Structure 1
């Protein structure tokens, strides 16, 4: 007794078993989290170090290099990059996918501790690490604004009340506060008045430090009581500092700070500006930890917003700006709608063929049952409802019903021969059972190589492969158990019920079947021509696979654009703010834009750079993303003096550096000057490549610096050391933090500098003095040469070597594969020296490595399919016959993708892999019947001819079901459709061509190979 017979004779057992699967599926669905994609985040850690006033070159040499040297000893680092700007260094460590981020963080913290002895003594704050990828865009933005409360107070609310609380949430990596103007006391000194009082900036710094010191006075231990001694008069207001006595004159008078300058309430970083909706704002940008769930994190943040509104004053507005969970939810909803449409279309196809309501209800029940039961397996494996897993579910709609259709059609065939319902179910299920097993296991087998893929592509599509395999496996079980059991209760009317609206389809099908019988007979008479066509198809398939334009992933439209702005390298901060604000206002007026936030400055960036985050209106109210970008570029061109490099925010981020383009090309070298020269040459050549747009470089050499060359003989004769000179300049221009004021909830800095009017040009340095050994003051320009010269705004390293990265985007329709090939050709033509190391980074790097593995993946999938079929049929030849239709499917897939103006990207390639499993189904149904017929004494010619005619209806049913099941994916227009369309189009094109060609080529191949079967 086989499984199907057992289930037919035990209907109660079968029903309850299936219901248990259904309950588990429903329970599993409730536990599945919602996310954009499977967890494909590289474990990434960012280390930041600050030394206010230090130049980019100084930060790179004294901070970045010692830290990188220690980090290089950590196991599992895949990529290490650093960027050093004025006063700040940021190092990004990206680890292999299999590395635990918690273990990596411990190793990084140990390395920081080891490097501490080699860092500048002036760096009082140790480097900080965060589990965050700086290239990963924030998932939620909150604007904090007020018409009456000053920005310093808003920054206090944003940081202390909100930022710290949000940072405590699970899954939150860091809360960046843009436009923050944290409160500080800024002590601004007039150097001429200072010199007139025989004082130096070092004297002022010492005085402020002494006045703000909180050295514990101690404890008094009495016989009966203990007393803590505490000084409670630490100055905390600007007026208190203004009245502070700095020194005493010879005549007994006092020199107050107000006599030589002023203390004012200000911001710790007065070169940071945020803007949104026509006014200054403080923006909280929340980033998630790698591996955390975006939707869950955003939901937790939203629950805190009402509590924040209760805490802050009524005049403070908290405005959610951008919520990336919205696009994720919309995308998931659209996929669910796609699945529903596919189910309806598939059921309609079944009814059109069978014209029996009871017969149609059986696969109509099996289809949702198989899908729902799959959710249980997904939950057990820890998967989520995301674009990839639901794409697998949507695609499986047309395929999980195949087994039920094949089983049902075979049983109906025996009912049409006059057998009773139960007899037809028993005979039909027994006859077709092996075919269903062959279809099921061979279809699953095609995904086995994907499970062993490494890297981000493997991690991304493993969940896809397992999900669709689960659905197919459950479908096979349902088809062997539930379907034949229900068939014994199926009412039957020979020829089906006559519906006016289906009669035309029946006539059309009968004519088609008759035409196929005649044309097949003709083709079998001219087998050699069909064999030549098959061979030509295979050759054309190989050529298309090699020469078709390649891409990585489709450009997603999540309704959010990141624009990195850049002005002239010698621009002032005030001019940069004015220029970017003008640009922001122009973009805000674009009818396609719903929200915008702008920021300039901050310690992590150069003065001439800023960021715009642009939120777009819903997709229904605007054109597609490429057209939006084109229109926004026109707006940007209206504002002179600034460039904006736009890139749509993507769910898949590769690489650890935030760049101006989606693709990066990096040069590394030992000699910094040689590196810069070759970077300029290569940039010139790459700019000539058709398809490359918005080419930019992180090489910024156009800034100016004032070089102070100490005349050591003169200085040392006066008793002035290098440290004395450096400190005096640091106190004048370095945003020197000379004191800290502590409150119950926070602390803020006391910053020393010269008055703003003395921070304009090189001439202002001539007003500074240093104290000699005799106590007199001497002008700095008398002991040092001052000159203005070019200097870099930032210095970048990769793998401990100086590096220059060229970033670029592609024109619509351009091929990443073609562009990378052209860049490699430029490398060879220019003959780079051995000291210059070129490489693609980020997305371009993963694209190159992934495409190299896709060919092997295709070969392995075919090989695994051959092995499985060979084992099932216990034959070396029949699997070749079954797989003979694959070239026709691949041709159709590639041509369909190219005709739609797309590239052969990773998503489309997975569609081709799927076609390997789908197309062989037709061959299995033909060959399986022909083998049985030959064993019963029929000739090979007669057997394959009869097999084609008998199996024509189930072949057409399953193919049309698969085709209509995938059509909603191919022509989807909702959120996230860009990610799904290439796969759907590839499958539709492959099914169309393979259906036409395999119905003729497979029988011919069967006859040619049958002679070898007899000899083996």
Structure 2
């Protein structure tokens, strides 16, 4: 080690060149890193969505949902399977254990569902992991005062979409609210019957004649060429004039024709149809959703799209884009705020070091480790493709106080020896020896701190993915600080401190008369009293626990509310539009409102399979004081205005949620229990956004087949199904290419949405080409059926959800559990409390194991460092007393125990132990030099007092901005809770470490000495015998 120190001092130029290279490359790495709010987090959930057009909820359940459920529920690691079967689609969420590799899980589910024999009309199931990349990074509203909505739709789907897709990092651009031109074919049943035709006859013929048919390779002029029969229908006029062959019947046709034109049996019109609906501030507008891929950088994607927006607006003056949801700007703001906190923390740390050293040169040498360590960590993070996000930036803010510790210890020792009376070494030799003297404690303290963060890699699920980059950043910064302290620091000390610093006799006298020395000596002479005092403080602090709440992750206060509106089952599109307008009237009158966008149909990012659900994105001015209060007021007002259900939450919330799952034997009993529980919880002030989801019913048509008559006429039931399915919805039969634009051709049933269904003019063809009225074969009955069927682990269930507004999530959850237990519910009803309570249990358990593992790792490293168990055991005595300051700090600042607090406790282990190592290492050194244990302790206490206080206060100064500025700026995950925990714990542990660790060390040393004497006496008696 001395060789490395000597090399650094003797090769200053080379070291300066290397340092400049590191600064340049590290700065470049920092600018090259992707900016994100958080690391990419994969929830332990796989979604399976299957679209089955025209199917009822019961059909979806029996033919799609249950086969998939039965298959996936047996897969390894599956914790629960939740499903919803509603009209046209099935949605299944598979929840896994936190330990499950979600990439493997997704592959296993895909393989499992591909082998299922689902209905042929059902689309291939879409299997995807739940990830933050599933949500758009930018939502825009597009308007043009000079163009119709149809013209703007075409422009958006062609020009704008193409321009946006050229931006690097884009995975998808969805355009919603568009109007599409199409040809609508309305058949006249009477005319069809007159020519002995059915709709299916005509549709089959059109599809066969209008599409290109490949004939394979044909030899033409001794050369092989591909041959294709071209479709004969290329325009609306072609379709109208298309001649359809008349089907022969047992008797003469009405007019003896063998062909009939389409225009004689149908009406063909060019119409416009809404593919989806999008509105902006009460007016029709085109919505554009921008999605990035997994490798994409949110900020760069958003910036790239905004550049394209400016270019397009320059080309068309009347074109206007409005940003409704922008994930890029909040990231920039959060990163900027965290960067400011880091600078403030660094400034505090520097001032504290300067205050102690009272020497500008030594202060410069000490603090140089801050930028160099962080720059080196940026280089490594960039190479590992870890993004620059709140977690990595927060880790750097936290690391500032720690990365300077090693340099402080080294430069303080150099400075101390330079001012020490009677010091024989000078210049190069003194700096080398002083640095080498501190090598063992700084290496062991660095390894200990790194060891503390190793268990973070063992934490599974979202919390592990969230905090692993945090731990890695600190580890890289600490390793860099170690290298800097034994290379750059001695080199700069030799450069800047060439002249010997005069011995400070005043400081020596102060040390001899130090109050600390007297108190330490008193503590050593009164060990029992000392232990009683500190343990009374420790036990007393534990009584503060009931006063501290329990939360999961603090919500950030983004000024955006995301609201989902589920209309009453059976609502038509026109009904939904009317409900949207009612909602807009309420929303547009709200104070501090920026914009409100409403959309439904295709392109709902929160629920792609539900085309009836309306998504509202409500954007507010930053001046809005309380987004949670606004959320509550909106929920109350909108509930009175609209029929249907609302789910309203701010975009920064979602961590502190409550879910109650109610299971039962049938939907009726479940619904009754859900309503009773919901009524009880409505009076809870600490719950907001209370929503009860039950199985609602809708009217449906039941078709009863006359099986005897059908069999006598030799008609297949599938023929009847084909005719009935034609009557259920508009069907696309082909498409025409007009000037490069594909125009769909749809068959309409000639009835408005929501109008009565009639069988009177429908016909089914027998094998003898005779048309039979459908009304003679089928009886229509009106009945009720569930609008959706929800199941969890195979049981019928209902769910109640709410957001917990209080700080003590655990207390609110426990209170709700007690209230539910007191309700008189029907036999067979089971209620399971989930949501954040489950997350707290799992995550806190894992973090608790991580903390215990960290303590074991610390002890193991200390045993290896000191070569015995006495010194490490004395060092561990510093840990329990950190609890005192942490708990007091949380109570005083009214901060709940959360994930960030637990991470702070994990950090505290490494920081507290570091101070104790510096003290105990000096005691061991002095003992080896022949001093008694008491003399060694007193000398070590006086010698290490200043570096211990310097490192502790530097860490406190670095973390102070987290506590002072709070978390309302978007840095909630690295919140004030972490800062309070570390600062409070560091204050109590530092003060008590200076007394209790020496007391523990001397006590253990005496016990070891007595044990050694007993062993020797026993050994001597054995020899005599």
TM-score by length of 1: 0.85
| Greater mean deviation of Cα atoms: 662-671 or 552-561 | 662-671
Which of 133, 137, 140 is the equivalent residue of 2:138?
Answer: 140
1:376-455 matches, cutoff 5 A:
376-418=379-421, 419=423, 420-422=426-428, 424-455=430-461
> 2:200 and 2:219 mapped to 1: Cα distance?
38
Aligned position for 1:1010? 1005
The answer to whether 1:265 aligns with 2:266 is no
Quick check: 2:176–2:288 contact (8 Å CA) kept in 1?
yes
> 1:167 and 1:497 mapped to 2: Cα distance?
74
How far residue 179 of structure 1 moved from its aligned partner, in angstroms, is 2.4
> 1:265 and 1:544 mapped to 2: Cα distance?
74
Q: CA offsets, 1:819-878, max 9 Å, x none?
A: 555677688888999998977777664443212212211111111111212221223132
Quick check: 1:48–1:88 contact (8 Å CA) kept in 2?
yes
Distance 1:388 1:222, change over 3 A: closer
> 2:432 and 2:548 mapped to 1: Cα distance?
49
Aligned position for 2:339? 336
How far residue 961 of structure 1 moved from its aligned partner, in angstroms, is 0.7
1:972-1011 matches, cutoff 5 A:
972=965, 975-981=969-975, 982-1011=977-1006
Aligned position for 1:964? 957
| Greater mean deviation of Cα atoms: 469-478 or 452-461 | 452-461
How far residue 606 of structure 1 moved from its aligned partner, in angstroms, is 4.6
Aligned position for 2:529? 529
Q: CA offsets, 1:528-573, max 9 Å, x none?
A: 2331243345546667779953322221234433211133334333
1:650-661 matches, cutoff 5 A:
650=652
How far residue 601 of structure 1 moved from its aligned partner, in angstroms, is 3.3
How far residue 577 of structure 1 moved from its aligned partner, in angstroms, is 1.6
Q: CA offsets, 1:868-899, max 9 Å, x none?
A: 12221223132232222322323432443354
Aligned position for 1:283? 287
| Greater mean deviation of Cα atoms: 15-24 or 665-674 | 665-674
SS where residue 733 of structure 1 aligns?
Answer: coil
The answer to whether 1:646 aligns with 2:648 is yes
How far residue 779 of structure 1 moved from its aligned partner, in angstroms, is 6.3
1:345-360 matches, cutoff 5 A:
345-360=348-363
The answer to whether 1:465 aligns with 2:458 is no
Aligned position for 2:29? 28
Which of 837, 845, 858 is the equivalent residue of 2:851?
Answer: 858
Distance 1:385 1:482, change over 3 A: same
> 1:136 and 1:885 mapped to 2: Cα distance?
46
Q: CA offsets, 1:320-374, max 9 Å, x none?
A: 4322122112212222221111111111111112221112211132221222222
Q: CA offsets, 1:208-252, max 9 Å, x none?
A: 546645446899866689895755652544x76667677987246
How far residue 484 of structure 1 moved from its aligned partner, in angstroms, is 2.6
How far residue 916 of structure 1 moved from its aligned partner, in angstroms, is 0.9
SS where residue 414 of structure 1 aligns?
Answer: helix
Aligned position for 1:658? none
1:402-801 matches, cutoff 5 A:
402-418=405-421, 419=423, 420-422=426-428, 424-488=430-494, 489-490=496-497, 516-517=516-517, 519-520=519-520, 522-524=522-524, 526-539=526-539, 548-602=548-602, 604=608, 606=610, 609-618=613-622, 621-630=623-632, 632-633=634-635, 636=638, 639-641=641-643, 643-650=645-652, 662=657, 664=659, 666=661, 691-717=686-712, 721-742=716-737, 745=740, 747-757=742-752, 759-761=754-756, 764-765=757-758, 767-771=760-764, 773=766, 783-796=777-790, 801=794
How far residue 913 of structure 1 moved from its aligned partner, in angstroms, is 0.5
How far residue 386 of structure 1 moved from its aligned partner, in angstroms, is 1.5
Which of 185, 188, 194 is the equivalent residue of 1:187?
Answer: 185
Q: Structure 2, unaligned stretches of length 5 or more? A: 247-252, 1013-1025
How far residue 127 of structure 1 moved from its aligned partner, in angstroms, is 4.8
* RMSD (Å) for aligned C-alpha atoms: 4.4
> 1:164 and 1:674 mapped to 2: Cα distance?
52
Aligned position for 2:1022? none
Quick check: 1:131–1:289 contact (8 Å CA) kept in 2?
no
SS where residue 552 of structure 1 aligns?
Answer: coil
How far residue 905 of structure 1 moved from its aligned partner, in angstroms, is 1.5
Quick check: 1:708–1:786 contact (8 Å CA) kept in 2?
yes
Q: CA offsets, 1:175-204, max 9 Å, x none?
A: 443324444333345768877998765466
Aligned position for 1:274? 278
Distance 1:190 1:903, change over 3 A: farther
Aligned position for 2:1016? none
Q: CA offsets, 1:256-298, max 9 Å, x none?
A: 767777444345666x311113322232223334565433444
Distance 1:944 1:133, change over 3 A: closer
How far residue 963 of structure 1 moved from its aligned partner, in angstroms, is 0.5
Distance 1:624 1:884, change over 3 A: farther
| Greater mean deviation of Cα atoms: 851-860 or 161-170 | 161-170
Distance 1:517 1:223, change over 3 A: closer
Quick check: 2:729–2:749 contact (8 Å CA) kept in 1?
no
Distance 1:727 1:531, change over 3 A: same
> 1:965 and 1:7 mapped to 2: Cα distance?
32
| Greater mean deviation of Cα atoms: 192-201 or 887-896 | 192-201
SS where residue 594 of structure 1 aligns?
Answer: strand
| Greater mean deviation of Cα atoms: 67-76 or 833-842 | 833-842
Quick check: 2:43–2:130 contact (8 Å CA) kept in 1?
no
SS where residue 600 of structure 2 aligns?
Answer: strand
Quick check: 1:40–1:456 contact (8 Å CA) kept in 2?
yes
Quick check: 2:324–2:617 contact (8 Å CA) kept in 1?
no
Q: Structure 1, unaligned stretches of length 5 or more? A: 499-505, 655-660
> 2:478 and 2:614 mapped to 1: Cα distance?
50
> 2:54 and 2:636 mapped to 1: Cα distance?
38
> 1:389 and 1:533 mapped to 2: Cα distance?
40
Which of 886, 897, 903 is the equivalent residue of 1:910?
Answer: 903
> 2:443 and 2:120 mapped to 1: Cα distance?
72
> 1:277 and 1:625 mapped to 2: Cα distance?
20
> 1:560 and 1:850 mapped to 2: Cα distance?
28
Distance 1:227 1:945, change over 3 A: closer
How far residue 955 of structure 1 moved from its aligned partner, in angstroms, is 2.0
| Greater mean deviation of Cα atoms: 245-254 or 694-703 | 245-254
Quick check: 1:442–1:865 contact (8 Å CA) kept in 2?
yes
The answer to whether 1:327 aligns with 2:326 is no
Which of 854, 866, 873 is the equivalent residue of 1:873?
Answer: 866
Distance 1:636 1:1008, change over 3 A: farther
> 1:259 and 1:510 mapped to 2: Cα distance?
113
How far residue 933 of structure 1 moved from its aligned partner, in angstroms, is 3.8
| Greater mean deviation of Cα atoms: 698-707 or 869-878 | 698-707
Quick check: 1:669–1:803 contact (8 Å CA) kept in 2?
yes
Distance 1:75 1:735, change over 3 A: farther
Quick check: 1:894–1:904 contact (8 Å CA) kept in 2?
no
The answer to whether 1:121 aligns with 2:120 is yes
Distance 1:250 1:192, change over 3 A: closer
Quick check: 2:691–2:802 contact (8 Å CA) kept in 1?
no
| Greater mean deviation of Cα atoms: 985-994 or 86-95 | 86-95
SS where residue 596 of structure 2 aligns?
Answer: strand
Aligned position for 2:55? 54
How far residue 83 of structure 1 moved from its aligned partner, in angstroms, is 4.0
TM-score by length of 2: 0.84
How far residue 308 of structure 1 moved from its aligned partner, in angstroms, is 6.2
